[in-house]
Structure 1
Amino acid sequence: MAVVMNIFKTDEIKSADNAYTNGDFERLTALITRAGESVCEYIPEGASEILIVSGTGNNGADGLAAAYYLKKIGYNPTVWILGRKPELNKTMTFFADKLAKENIGVNIITPVSDNGLILHILDDIKKSDVVIDAIFGTGFGGDLLPLFEIVINYINDYKKFTISVDIPSGVNGDTGSVLSTAIYADITVTFCNYKPGNILMPGKEYCGKVYVADIGMPSKLFETAAEKRISEKKFYQCFADNKADRTSVKQLIFNRNPYGHKGDFGKVLIIAGAEGMTGAAQLCAKAALRSGAGLVYIACPRKLLTIYETTVPEAVKIPLGTEESSFFTDEFTDELIKFSKNADVVLIGPGLGRKDETETFVRNFVKRSEKCSLIIDADALYAYRNDIETLKNDLESTDFVITPHDGEFSNLTGEPAPFKDRLTLARQLAYYLNGNVLLKGSSTIIANCTNGFTVNLTGNSGIATAGSGDVLAGIIAGIAASNNVSIYEAAYCGAYIHGLSGDIAADKLTEICVNATDIIENLANAYKRVIKDV
């Protein structure tokens, strides 16, 4: 199995740094020099007035190294250091001395500096074409002093072309959460690998375009960390629309038996769609069928049977109740439990409605389902609002993924939205439930109970549309049923394919015009891109 190991947390990066430098100052400064040079590759053509604003840690040293390199290639950068105190550490002093030999003055400003200095740096910001932000690195987690807030806000207010070193100052490297303010970068040059803060909202929004620079750290240092995670079943990974990630997805979900029949490619039971919301079940079924499922069954109140016979002819229908039955009730539970024992995957929730009788049915069905993989979405999650303990108990013997958006997550857990640290919340819930959580949103997070996670980077604003979540649930169901993968792998591959299909649809239609049906209609193109790498 190929796994893309390309997210590393700040403590792992620090450990790799320490292992590589091992107290060797010359090796450390060489690393910082390469980091500074890599940042300079992204200076836009035609820029002349370049301002470097550094902090006093190694991130600040990266900024000074960038200034030194810029001088060598013909620029005359302006350099400011923001610090809590005027003293510089050994590394900063080393690079400041190098700048002095090149006749580049280094201005130091602290919270006790007089107003004249503050006005001076603000004037330099105003005059600059490009600002290189090297104030804080990925490991910073304290509070911003007023001086730092003033400088950061001024850079943002003047909308200077800004390049952040490793991560925008004010963004938490491990969570993507933002302090009282943060740099809005046009480009972020991060080193060696992505950090969570580069790809998780809201930090992702502040990063702009993210480039990963190779600064000469031996890959074996990161491979060791990756191997340790694999042994512990802790996958920290992200998937984007690139060759490496498409290959990983392809190796997981495109291993169909050329001699197989429909029974070999899995059976999906869909429990969705009350009267007035039958579109949800239709979208789920069509997405599952387009995602490889050999057989898809739609369980439906008998009154709604004709709708599904007309709209999803490929699916097998399971009519329930009387001719007047229009929503799910507990009288359907026994029959559906029997059907579920012959299914590989059960998808429950989209469009079920929120009647008391339906909520009773959901709870009883979930509690009794144990022979198949379970995808719990939408109204099935609402049935457990403010009762996460019962959900945990009901899922005790089930292989499952729950797929909430932020509002549903908040209803389940009581955690008020918007969330400052979506990654930690998703991981905590997965651990508590002893299962898998797919937290939908920009940069969807898929967390498992062994403390691993995947962040999906495909998709766009166009897929934030009614029915899109139903399509995602159906894709996951189809992948889980038709491939020899875990429900966790099906979930992150499903999120990837869903977003990729949305991207292809948006290319054709614009993000404004994409709807849920467009995502389904472009699934074939998404799968083709993965299979053929086009």
Structure 2
Amino acid sequence: MELECPGFIRNPETWTTEDTRAYETNTVWLGLPLLLLMENAGRAVADAVECVLGDVRNRKVVVYAGKGGNGGDAIVAARHLALRGADVTVYLLYDPKLMEHRDAALNLQHLQRLKTVKVVHLDDPRDYSPQEADALIDGILGIGVRGKLREPVASALAAFNASKGLRVAVDIPTGLDPDTGKAVEGTARVDITVTMGTLKPGLLADEAKPYVGQVLVADIGMPRDAYIYAGPGDVAARIPRRPRDAYKGGNGKVLSVGGSYHYFGAPFYMASAALYAGADLSFLAAPEDVARSAATANPGIIPVPLKGDIITREHVKDLVEEARHVNAVAIGPGLGTAEETKQAVAEFLEAIRGKPTVIDADALKAVAELRPKLWPEAVLTPHRGEARMLAGHDGEPQELAAEIAKTYGATVIVKAPKPPGDVICSPDGRCRFNLTGHPAMAVGGTGDVLTGITAGFLARRAALSKSLEPLNIAAAAAWTSGRAGELAVEEKGDNITAIDVLNKVQAAIREAYSLISGGG
């Protein structure tokens, strides 16, 4: 029989570890401290214990706490249970000086001042032994930890699993992969898992059932704005850091296609932004003069010169071959509107079906007229006028974005002023919003910067074989572009150019990484 505990979420959503990291960081950016979320999480664990045991006065509770945010949640739970009259002992698996999470350290400092809670650190892991307790709480490792259990975790969990009493996990049983449900040897086996905010996919896996017990989802107060609106967490958690064994090209390669005899700047901004977004290599396929001009202005761009003044169907075979060697494609800025160029765009898109591709500017005109079949990993980036063109009618940005995404089967960013800001929708009907940006960005070239950022981010994920998540990656790109514009305005005032925005892309990304939460 399932336990009925008041105050826990019914019909919760399911978030991956990446989602959780992203939205925690967005929460902090919105001004809500993780310290408050930790307080709510720990209280929820105490509530679950009380729900099962009833009155906890004089009940023996043993808490195992690690050095991260998961341990901080457990420490808060210990405080609340002691406040309610329980006899609480906290085993710290590590020296208190090694506490990694700032808020966990703060809660530990408070707990150590209390006379009603016994705090113990065992120097030798062999000293852990099974306990006779009414409840035992696993707050050792959180959602961010993978792999074989090492000391002192292995010994502490062996004692935990051999103990008699109600066993409770904080967020996820230690040793269980929150995304896959795979368990390593020695994983905690619990009666109840109190998971925070939403379900984790691993908790639902059949192979996880022997470990998780009944799952209760605690409302810890994370605002809906944290996952509806794009934020720095979407960059910091979703755009992968370079691995230690990084090699040239391993962090993503982008092919930008654009330019014509009349437009030199747009493809330069696009190809440069892909580099500034972190792609290792940025190729620009453009008419000869355009390609060489861009590479002269930014030597990091690798030119792919095409004969003639515009891109035509004669170039499609070569473009397809170039696209085979990259992780993502961006197409559109500066192409012009010649009929043969539109035909080339349609043929090229058909030939690279399924590849992460950002479609902007003049390429959108070809899409609107010729209606090639698109795919969810294709991201359209129209401004409001182009959105009306794609939809065939006027409307509000959210209405247009949702309709375009469904009609074309692609992800779409409709660029719009606040409110509602940029609207990002996927073909399955999900939508997010972005509120960064400034009216001063309404100048030529800033949209091309967004196109390059989006392609760079997609390439980075694809290069590391991560699921593309085009809706969330498009949201991350929109936030980055808008934040870069804000930083440019802060430095130079309202009269900025696309180059000013481009030059702040790296600063916006750096700011996002600096805000990543301490997590579990």
TM-score by length of 2: 0.54
The alpha-carbon deviation at position 425 of structure 1 amounts to: 2.3
What is the match of residue 422 of structure 1? 397
The alpha-carbon deviation at position 461 of structure 1 amounts to: 0.7
2:448 aligned with 1:449: no
The alpha-carbon deviation at position 247 of structure 1 amounts to: 3.3
Give me the whole-angstrom Cα distance separating, in 1, the residues matched to 2:379 and 2:221: 29
2:516 aligned with 1:497: no
Please give the per-residue CA displacement for 1:384-405, whole angstroms capped at 9, x wherever unaligned: 33x4xx52x4325x62010111
Matched ranges for 1:12-91 at <5 A: none
Identity of aligned residues (%): 29
Residues 271 and 284, structure 2, Cα contact 8 Å, conserved in 1:
yes
Residues 240 and 460, structure 2, Cα contact 8 Å, conserved in 1:
no
User: Cα–Cα, structure 1 residues 309 and 423, in superposed 2: closer, same or farther, change >3 Å?
Assistant: closer
2:358 aligned with 1:375: yes
Residues 405 and 411, structure 2, Cα contact 8 Å, conserved in 1:
yes
Residues 403 and 439, structure 1, Cα contact 8 Å, conserved in 2:
yes
Structure 1: which 5+ runs fail to align? 8-217, 227-234, 240-244
Matched ranges for 1:199-218 at <5 A: none
2:236 aligned with 1:253: no
Please give the per-residue CA displacement for 1:338-388, whole angstroms capped at 9, x wherever unaligned: 111221111010010011111111111112212521111000011233x4x
Give me the whole-angstrom Cα distance separating, in 2, the residues matched to 1:364 and 1:220: 50
Residues 292 and 305, structure 2, Cα contact 8 Å, conserved in 1:
no
What is the match of residue 219 of structure 2? 220
The alpha-carbon deviation at position 433 of structure 1 amounts to: 2.0
Matched ranges for 1:236-251 at <5 A: 237-239=228-230, 245-251=231-237
Give me the whole-angstrom Cα distance separating, in 2, the residues matched to 1:431 and 1:331: 32
The alpha-carbon deviation at position 517 of structure 1 amounts to: 0.4
User: Cα–Cα, structure 1 residues 360 and 514, in superposed 2: closer, same or farther, change >3 Å?
Assistant: same
The alpha-carbon deviation at position 4 of structure 1 amounts to: 3.3
2:249 aligned with 1:263: yes
Q: Secondary structure at the match of 1:441?
A: coil
Matched ranges for 1:427-442 at <5 A: 427-442=402-417
Residues 285 and 474, structure 1, Cα contact 8 Å, conserved in 2:
yes
Matched ranges for 1:390-401 at <5 A: 390-391=370-371, 393-395=372-374, 399-401=377-379
Q: Secondary structure at the match of 2:237?
A: helix
User: Cα–Cα, structure 1 residues 383 and 434, in superposed 2: closer, same or farther, change >3 Å?
Assistant: closer
What is the match of residue 313 of structure 1? 299
What is the match of residue 503 of structure 2? 521
What is the match of residue 199 of structure 2? none
Q: Which has the higher contact order (CA 8 A, sep 6+)?
A: 2
What is the match of residue 380 of structure 2? 402
The alpha-carbon deviation at position 287 of structure 1 amounts to: 0.8
What is the match of residue 530 of structure 1? 512
Please give the per-residue CA displacement for 1:393-441, whole angstroms capped at 9, x wherever unaligned: 4325x6201011111111122112xx3x321221122122222011011
User: Cα–Cα, structure 1 residues 379 and 514, in superposed 2: closer, same or farther, change >3 Å?
Assistant: same
* Residue identity opposite 1:526 in structure 2: A
Give the one of 470, 494, 497 matched to 2:448: 470
Give me the whole-angstrom Cα distance separating, in 1, the residues matched to 2:271 and 2:305: 15
The alpha-carbon deviation at position 221 of structure 1 amounts to: 10
The alpha-carbon deviation at position 462 of structure 1 amounts to: 1.3
The alpha-carbon deviation at position 525 of structure 1 amounts to: 1.6
Residues 373 and 408, structure 2, Cα contact 8 Å, conserved in 1:
no
Give me the whole-angstrom Cα distance separating, in 2, the residues matched to 1:433 and 1:372: 15
User: Cα–Cα, structure 1 residues 524 and 399, in superposed 2: closer, same or farther, change >3 Å?
Assistant: closer
What is the match of residue 96 of structure 1? none
What is the match of residue 285 of structure 1? 271
Residues 285 and 312, structure 1, Cα contact 8 Å, conserved in 2:
no
Residues 4 and 237, structure 1, Cα contact 8 Å, conserved in 2:
no
What is the match of residue 341 of structure 2? 358
2:470 aligned with 1:487: yes
The alpha-carbon deviation at position 263 of structure 1 amounts to: 1.6
* Residue identity opposite 2:348 in structure 1: F
Residues 390 and 404, structure 2, Cα contact 8 Å, conserved in 1:
no
Q: Secondary structure at the match of 1:384?
A: helix
Residues 445 and 454, structure 1, Cα contact 8 Å, conserved in 2:
yes
The alpha-carbon deviation at position 293 of structure 1 amounts to: 0.4
Please give the per-residue CA displacement for 1:127-175, whole angstroms capped at 9, x wherever unaligned: xxxxxxxxxxxxxxxxxxxxxxxxxxxxxxxxxxxxxxxxxxxxxxxxx
The alpha-carbon deviation at position 267 of structure 1 amounts to: 0.9
User: Cα–Cα, structure 1 residues 487 and 247, in superposed 2: closer, same or farther, change >3 Å?
Assistant: closer
User: Cα–Cα, structure 1 residues 411 and 281, in superposed 2: closer, same or farther, change >3 Å?
Assistant: same
Give me the whole-angstrom Cα distance separating, in 2, the residues matched to 1:373 and 1:524: 22
Give me the whole-angstrom Cα distance separating, in 1, the residues matched to 2:360 and 2:447: 8
Q: Secondary structure at the match of 1:335?
A: helix
2:492 aligned with 1:509: yes
Residues 343 and 372, structure 1, Cα contact 8 Å, conserved in 2:
no
User: Cα–Cα, structure 1 residues 4 and 424, in superposed 2: closer, same or farther, change >3 Å?
Assistant: farther
Give me the whole-angstrom Cα distance separating, in 2, the residues matched to 1:367 and 1:274: 22
TM-score by length of 1: 0.53
Give me the whole-angstrom Cα distance separating, in 2, the residues matched to 1:471 and 1:412: 21
The alpha-carbon deviation at position 262 of structure 1 amounts to: 1.8
The alpha-carbon deviation at position 222 of structure 1 amounts to: 8.4
Q: Secondary structure at the match of 1:264?
A: coil
Please give the per-residue CA displacement for 1:257-291, whole angstroms capped at 9, x wherever unaligned: 12211221111000011112110110011111011
Please give the per-residue CA displacement for 1:191-237, whole angstroms capped at 9, x wherever unaligned: xxxxxxxxxxxxxxxxxxxxxxxxxxx973988x98xxxxxxxx961
Give me the whole-angstrom Cα distance separating, in 1, the residues matched to 2:269 and 2:423: 22
* Residue identity opposite 2:469 in structure 1: S
What is the match of residue 99 of structure 1? none
Residues 329 and 358, structure 2, Cα contact 8 Å, conserved in 1:
yes
Q: Secondary structure at the match of 2:433?
A: strand
What is the match of residue 134 of structure 2? none
Residues 288 and 475, structure 1, Cα contact 8 Å, conserved in 2:
yes
Give me the whole-angstrom Cα distance separating, in 1, the residues matched to 2:266 and 2:430: 30
Structure 2: which 5+ runs fail to align? 1-17, 28-216
Residues 412 and 425, structure 2, Cα contact 8 Å, conserved in 1:
yes
